[in-house]
Amino acid sequence: MVTAFTTASTRQTFGETLVELGRENQDIVVLGGDLNKSTFANLFGREFPERFFDFGPAEQNIMGVAAGLAASRKSPFVTTFAVFGSCRPFDQIRVSIAQPHLNVKIVCTHAGIITGEDGMSAHSIEDLALMCSLPGFTVLAPADAVETVRAIRAAAETPGPFYIRLYRPATPIVHQDNGYDFKIGKAELMRRGKNDDVTIIAVGVGVSSSLQAASALAEEGTSCRVVNMHTLRPVDEGAILEAAKETGAIVTVEEHYIHGGLGSIVAQALGKGHPVPLEMVALDRYAESGTAEELLEKYHLTPEYIGKAVKAALARK
Amino acid sequence: MDNLENIAKEIRRDVIEMIFTAGSGHPGGSLSEIEILTALYFRIMKHDPENPAWSDRDRFILSKGHASPGFYAVLSKRGYFPRDEMWTFRKLGSRLQGHAHTGTPGVEMNSGSLGQGLSFAVGVALAANVDKKDYRVYALLGDGECDEGQIWEAAMSAAHYNLGNLTAFVDRNRIQNDRFTSEVMRLEPLAEKWSAFGWKVLEVDGHNIGQVLDAASAARNTRGCPTVIIAHTVKGKGVSFMENNPDFHGRAPNKDEYERALKELA
């Protein structure tokens, strides 16, 4: 049996949160690149036109301008699609933002392959690897719209450069709206049994599919712990090692390329601290046009494939 | 004016000394920018070496970050850090990095990857408008640097946002890393390009401090659009065998060259 979730849009939630932040903090300025309807940054632009700047699709310039604003004690939020806010202007992010450690928040929507029909150029499957490679950057990938609000607010309250990864389609809600205490760098335990056989560490939409996989596996007698690794940098190594010690096997789940993302980060922590069998559910190539559901199925990112990875990990224990 | 010219000559000697001591660095573009920087730091800009973070200061952004020795020599001469610190340039633990960065007092941004400074300057100029402050923003670009597409993204946005508080200098010394700019990538008609992007364009002899000061005044009195001052300069200016010589874009003088250079600049 598969758990059913209601869904909500992380990008719309982001746009609404940004407006609230704009009311609370006069220093917040927003920069967009001609995608402001899609990122919902236009909500901020409508209410605060004097603090909203569109640059057209000129992402290299946007990152440099954001750096100049941050150096002038503004709190810039850059919003665009994930491919255009990470891959495209990477050197500008590196030299103008990361190296001087400026207070720029890059919030990108349309991450991963669930962006769908636009095809591989629009599928951001390298962004986590790139952004996690920048010293001093904090990298957040909220699991749902509830967590998105917390992540955006936590970023606004924390000085320094951030990358936050959101989605195009509405995604499953895995948190109760009230009482969720989000902390940067502190992994969230989503599901835990008495004697878990394995831990699934997931990020972003991978969390809901991992919870679904865990439910299905429970009916077969396999007990899975599920951890939401919403912060990729700085990653919660303590939570990874605790899971490795207590359950003896790990499966990572991410809608990202298999190199450089969550799986690689977890492997690094395990290798240093407590090696155990590790299976990675991730993309191993560029995808193609299709619906989100079709792509997740074809590229083996569904709960069914997470279940297979769990079994593979258990077999290696 | 005589005074500023003397200061410029002293700064040139410091540039040679610094790069020779370091054993590496970029003399050509450092020597071509000296009058522009001297005019900015000794006459044009409102700034306070005792308080580099003064919120109402005019800002200067060195986009051609490899020309840091010229910049450091001016900052030191103006009192941003002690003279002796110049001889630590490019050495381990120094605040004077190979390319300009914010760890040096008076440096506003990191550079070294070409094309990024004008965007940063646009951000600083926009912040002045948001904060309703009247400080001015100056950026210095290399001519070879104008090969970078980001320069033109930034140029378009500065005009779009009517940034009259922004002035860019282009150090038009006609040589880039490998060869003459006309051989690597044709820039001309450069003035027309900036003009077409919505900028007021002024052209000066970049080694004539009077002309640089006059152009900066004209820029200050311009409303509603940014100004670019194309400063025609000589790469390696002041040292005969470095002048117009692509070989000295990015190499230090040897002992013999160092001694001859200082003699010429005496």
CB of A71 within 8 Å of a chain B CB? The answer is: yes
Instruction: Kindly report the number of other CB atoms within 10 A of residue B191's CB atom.
Output: 16
Residues A32 and A162 placed together within one structural domain of the fold: yes
A68 with B119: Cβ contact below 8 A: yes
CA-CA distance, A241 to A190, in Å (whole number)? Answer: 16
Residues A48 and A135 placed together within one structural domain of the fold: yes
A64 with B108: Cβ contact below 8 A: no
CB of A274 within 8 Å of a chain B CB? The answer is: no
Number of compact structural domains in chain A: 2
Three-state DSSP class for A298?
Answer: helix
CB of B162 within 8 Å of a chain A CB? The answer is: no
User: According to the model, what pLDDT value does residue B188 have?
Assistant: 98
In a domain, A179, yes or no: no
**pLDDT tens digit string along A172-211?**
999 987 788 999 999 999 999 999 999 999 999 999 999 9
Minimum-distance CB partner of B116 among A29, A71, A96: A96
Residues A131 and A220 placed together within one structural domain of the fold: no
In a domain, A180, yes or no: no
Residues A133 and A197 placed together within one structural domain of the fold: no
Residues A131 and A205 placed together within one structural domain of the fold: no
**pLDDT tens digit string along B56-113?**
999 999 999 999 999 999 999 999 999 999 999 999 999 999 999 999 999 999 999 9
Torsion of CA B171, B177, B182, B186, to 10 degrees: -80
CB of A44 within 8 Å of a chain B CB? The answer is: no
Mean of the per-residue pLDDT values of chain B: 97
Torsion of CA A103, B100, B62, B115, to 10 degrees: -70
- Find which of A25, A44, A63, A65 to mutate to test the B interface (most B CBs within 10 Å of its CB): A65
B263 burial (CB, 10 Å; 0-12 / 13-18 / 19+) is: exposed
Q: Which amino acid is at A18?
A: L
Residues A148 and A295 placed together within one structural domain of the fold: no
A66 with B157: Cβ contact below 8 A: no
B109 with A76: Cβ contact below 8 A: no
User: According to the model, what pLDDT value does residue A1 have?
Assistant: 42
The C-alpha of A58 sits at a distance from chain B's nearest C-alpha, in angstroms, of: 6
CATH of the domain at A267: 3.40.50.920
**Predicted TM-score of the model (pTM):** 0.97
Sort strands A28-32 and A75-81 into parallel, antiparallel or unpaired.
parallel
**Residue in the structure block whose two tokens are 């070294």:** B112
Angle at A304 between CA A301 and CA A308, to 5 degrees: 95
The C-alpha of B266 sits at a distance from chain A's nearest C-alpha, in angstroms, of: 38
Residues A234 and A90 placed together within one structural domain of the fold: no
In a domain, A128, yes or no: yes
| Average confidence (pLDDT) per 10 residues, chain A, 317 residues | 80 98 98 98 98 98 98 98 98 98 98 97 98 98 97 98 98 89 97 96 98 97 98 98 98 98 98 98 98 98 98 97
CA-CA distance, A90 to A128, in Å (whole number)? Answer: 12
Residues A160 and A196 placed together within one structural domain of the fold: no
Residues A162 and A196 placed together within one structural domain of the fold: no
Which chain A residue lies closest to B117 (C-alpha atoms)? A64
CB of A51 within 8 Å of a chain B CB? The answer is: yes
Annotate chain B with three-state secondary structure: CHHHHHHHHHHHHHHHHHHHHHCCCCHHHHHHCHHHHHHHHHHHCCCCCCCCCCCCCCEEEECCHHHHHHHHHHHHHCCCCCHHHHHHCCCCCCCCCCCCCCCCCCCCCCCCCCCCHHHHHHHHHHHHHHCCCCCCEEEEEECHHHHCHHHHHHHHHHHHCCCCCEEEEEEECCECCCCEHHHHCCCCCHHHHHHHCCCEEEEEECCCHHHHHHHHHHHHCCCCCCEEEEEECCCCCCCCCCCCCHHHCCCCCCHHHHHHHHHHCC
In a domain, A203, yes or no: yes
Last residue of a domain, one of A117, A148, A172: A172
CB of B163 within 8 Å of a chain A CB? The answer is: no
- Pick the closest to residue B57 from B73, B78, B72, B77 (CA basis): B78
CB of B245 within 8 Å of a chain A CB? The answer is: no
Minimum-distance CB partner of B157 among A50, A61, A67: A61
Q: Could you tell me the pLDDT band of residue B1, with boundaries at 50, 70 and 90?
A: low
CA-CA distance, A140 to A157, in Å (whole number)? Answer: 14
The C-alpha of A106 sits at a distance from chain B's nearest C-alpha, in angstroms, of: 15
B/e letters for A171-196, b = 16+ CB within 10 Å, e = fewer, are bbbbbeeeeeebebbebbebbeeeeb
A–B: how many Cβ contacts below 8 A?
A: 100
Last residue of a domain, one of A172, A201, A227: A172
In a domain, A266, yes or no: yes
Q: Identify the helix (H) or strand (E) that includes residue A53.
A: strand A52-54
User: Which domains does chain B carry?
Assistant: 2-264 (3.40.50.970)
Last residue of a domain, one of A138, A172, A206: A172
CB of B108 within 8 Å of a chain A CB? The answer is: yes
- Find which of B99, B104, B108, B116 to mutate to test the A interface (most A CBs within 10 Å of its CB): B116
CA distances from B189 to A104, B148, B182, B194, B211 (A): 36, 16, 11, 9, 21
CB of A48 within 8 Å of a chain B CB? The answer is: no
CA-CA distance, A134 to A139, in Å (whole number)? Answer: 10
Residues A237 and A302 placed together within one structural domain of the fold: yes
Q: Which amino acid is at A110?
A: H
User: According to the model, what pLDDT value does residue B33 have?
Assistant: 98
Residues A41 and A133 placed together within one structural domain of the fold: yes
Angle at A196 between CA A192 and CA A198, to 5 degrees: 105
Torsion of CA A204, A206, A209, A211, to 10 degrees: -80
**pLDDT tens digit string along B27-43?**
999 999 999 999 999 99
CA-CA distance, A143 to B58, in Å (whole number)? Answer: 44
**Residue in the structure block whose two tokens are 């917040």:** A28
In a domain, A233, yes or no: yes
- Pick the closest to residue A65 from A56, A78, A81, A47 (CA basis): A78
In a domain, A64, yes or no: yes
Which domain does A46 fall in, by range?
7-172
Residues A105 and A140 placed together within one structural domain of the fold: yes
**pLDDT tens digit string along B185-216?**
999 999 999 999 999 999 999 999 999 999 99
- Note if the bond before B105 is cis, omega within 30 degrees: no
ipTM above 0.95, yes or no: yes
In a domain, A253, yes or no: yes
CA-CA distance, B246 to B249, in Å (whole number)? Answer: 5
Residues in B closer than 8 angstroms to A70, CB to CB, are 123
B210 burial (CB, 10 Å; 0-12 / 13-18 / 19+) is: middle
CATH of the domain at A160: 3.40.50.970
Give yes or no: A59 in active site: yes
Minimum-distance CB partner of B119 among A29, A65, A74: A65
Mean pLDDT of B224-242: 98
